[in-house]
Amino acid sequence: MKKLIIALALGAVSFSAAAADVKRGEELTKKYNCASCHGADFTKPIDPSYPKLAGQHADYIAHALMAYKRGGDQANGRSNPIMAGFAKPLSNQDMADIGAYLHSLPSQLVVSK
């Protein structure tokens, strides 16, 4: 039993990503020009159907980017040719960094109680 617990703990550590880097996330959003659709402050997208990203949960952003990278024809994928093109070159660390940056931004997103 003790060996199983140790193996599970080591496995969890090996799959965890390095700490997300907010500054690098900011650089990546500029590199990929995310503001061109989601708005300069990420709270006013150019189209009301595009999401507001400022203040969004970092893990949700990373998950959404991974789903766009997978594409709509894969399990848990999202179908959007524009976002798929942006997400394809991103590494898991890039996605975590972008999520951390967007989460750090001030927003008016609220959690309902």
Taking only the tens place, the pLDDT of each residue in 30-40 is 999 999 999 99
CATH 1.10.760.10 fits 20-104, yes or no: yes
Q: What's the CA dihedral at 51, 108, 28, 63 to 10 degrees?
A: -60
Q: How far apart are CA 5 and CA 17, in angstroms?
A: 21
What global pTM score does this model have? 0.79
Domain segments of the chain as ranges: 20-104
Percent of the chain with pLDDT over 90: 72
- For 9, the token pair is 């703990």
Q: Which residue has the tokens 């976002």?
A: 83
- State the burial class of residue 63 (Cβ atoms within 10 Å of its Cβ: 0-12, 13-18, 19+): middle
Quick: pLDDT tens for 74-90. 888 899 999 999 999 99
CB-CB neighbours of 98 under 10 Å: 28
Question: Cβ of 23: how many Cβ atoms within 10 Å?
Answer: 11
pLDDT bucket at 73, cuts 50 / 70 / 90? confident
Q: Determine the Cα–Cα distance for residues 9 and 68; give it in Å rounded to an integer.
A: 30
